[in-house]
Structures are given as structure tokens and as C-alpha cells.
Amino acid sequence: MSNSNQLKEIANNLVLKGKGILAADESNPTCKKRFESIGVESSFESRNEYRDILFTSDGIENFISGVILFDETLRQSTTCDKKTPFPELLNSKGIIPGIKVDKGANNLEGFPNEKATSGLDGLDERLAEYYKLGARFAKWRAVITIGDDIPTDACIQANAHSLARYASKCQQAGIVPIVEPEVLMDGTHTIETCNNVTSRTLKIVFEQLSMYNVLLEGIILKPNMIISAINCPVQADIEKVADMTYACLKENVPENVPGIAFLSGGQSGDLATSHLKKMNETHKDMPWNLTFSYGRALQHDTLNTWKGKNENRKAAQEAFIIRAKNNSLATFDSGIQILEPK
């Protein structure tokens, strides 16, 4: 199979109707914050145990097509006696292992309050190693902040340029890139402002992807939804979010992109699911599959059920599967009733 055909096949399998991507790539500092919220110390062992709970959940393969891993997690194994490496476990279930490869967002020189993502240095070597360890797709997150006189064109250009170079390097390594330009929900801005900034961002991102000869049939786009800021006094309803998100994507995303896997971006699990469900119910002429690549929106119930206690393991897995199934149902356009979490 040629490299381009392999990339297309992986990309299409990641966005199969009824399935989505679990983002389990939280960095160790992020894990520490989340574990502290449930009174659990974050250690190599506790992080390993928690990821084991997620990945060994009964029936996960029915709803999850791929899992984004952190570097540490890619090298960890199941906690049972067999000690199966996580990439091997996921592959055995027909789930594609992925890897977070960016090094985080740093201050953009000369542009206060704006960020640019780092991680291109040494990326070729890391991708080669990750491929050997079993990763077949990758993720790079760019952060776009809305505020007074920002984002600037320079910020959007810098992040789009890095996303394109990352995507090109991934494809050369036989790895499907998830392209994630996230316009943050933080602030007081309206849904209209989110729409304008997201549209600007997507236009420039796809210009850069084209400039670097990235095979669009071999990528996954992971954008934010068009949504009111967290502290905006007027919160757009589900129908408006669905309609404006779809319109923005239709205008800016080429039809040969195989799928769009939304980030939850701080939305509650229920809201992220409802927005995805409404889009798939309402818009029947989409050229790409719309699905999910959620972190907190999939894991929140699991984490709070587990609380670091082994006796809660089964209940935590059941909570995760309910969330995964809800979002699986939300990728269909049949108006199926979403299950309520317990």
C-alpha cells in the first residue's frame, strides 16, 4: 500500500460513522490538577491505573476509533499480570493508537497575551520513534485567544504555519496528523465574534496546509465549535451553535477532508454531546463526517466515579462507556434519543 493510501485509510477509519476519538493525552501537570480535584496523588502508577481503566473498559471498541496518548502513556502497559503495552492492547481492539507531539503553547514574542505552539525541533526523530512504538496518528494543538485587539494576523499565521509543517512531517513519517486550531472559549465575546475569528483561522490554516503540500484526504481537522464565550452574558442556544458551526465549516473546510472531530473546549459533557447531535440531525448535506475528539467531556464522569479507589473501577468504566455511547449516537442523523448519564 502506498503511503498516501495508508494515510487515507487511517484517516477514514478514525472518523467512521458511530465512532470518535478519545483524547487521553493530558500532560503530567494537567493530570496533577485533575487528580487533585478528586483527592488522588498524580504519580506514574496512578496515571497508569487511570488510563488502564479507560482502555480496558468493556465495549470501548464499539464507540472509540482512536486514542490520543501522551508520551508516557504510549510507553505504559496494562496493570494486569500480562502487562500488555497500551498500543498493543488498543490495536487488539481495532482502536488506532495516536500520540500528542506538540510541546505546548508559549508566549508569542512581541505579541502580549498571544501564544504560539512549539515542538517542531526534533519532531522528525520523535515521529519515527512513535511510529515504531505503534502510533499511527498524531495531534498538535494551536491556541487562539480572543480579547482586546487579538487575535492578530501574526498570531494566526504563526500557528497555522507550525500546524502545516507539523502535518507535512507527520505524513512523511506515515502518520495521520490531527490539525487542531483551537479558538478558546475563555472571555466574554459573543458567538458572532467566535465565528469571525474561527473563520479567519481556518482560512489561513488551509492556505498553509496547501502551501506545504499536505494531503488533505489524509488529515483530521479538530476545531472548536462556534460558541459563546464562557462569560458572555448571552449564551447561544443549541440550534444556533449547530447552525453557525456548520456554516463556518462549510465555508472554510475543503470537501476532501475526510472528517471533522470536534474538541469539547471546556463544554460540559452534556452540552458537547447535544451540539454534535444537533449538527448531525439538522444538516444532511455534509461532505465530511462530523464526530468527536473529547477529553474532559468523555472522562469527567469516569474520573469522579473512580476517585482513586479500586472498588470503584467497574463503576468508573461503566460511566465512561455511557459517555462514549452517547457521543457515538450523536454522530448519527436519525434523531436517536441520547442516553442520560447515571
Answer yes or no: 8 catalytic: no
Cα separation, 263 vs 275, in Å, equals 12
Q: What is the CA radius of gyration of the chain?
A: 19
Q: Is the CB of residue 182 less than 8 Å from the CB of residue 139?
A: no
Do you find a cis peptide bond into 151, omega within 30 degrees of 0?
Answer: yes
DSSP for 99-148 reads EE----EEEPTT-TT-EEE---TTHHHHHHHHHHHT--EEEEEEEE--BT
Answer yes or no: 222 catalytic: yes
Cα separation, 108 vs 116, in Å, equals 5
- 122 C-beta neighbours (distance < 10 Å), count: 9
Backbone φ, ψ for residue 325 (5° rounding) = -65, -40
Closest Cα to residue 80, out of 313, 264, 287?
313
**Catalytic option among 19, 115, 139, 222:** 222
DSSP for 59-112 reads TGGGTEEEEEE-HHHHT-B-SSTT--BHHHHHHHTT-EEEEE----EEEPTT-T
**Catalytic option among 180, 182, 277, 278:** 180
Which residues are identified as catalytic?
180, 222
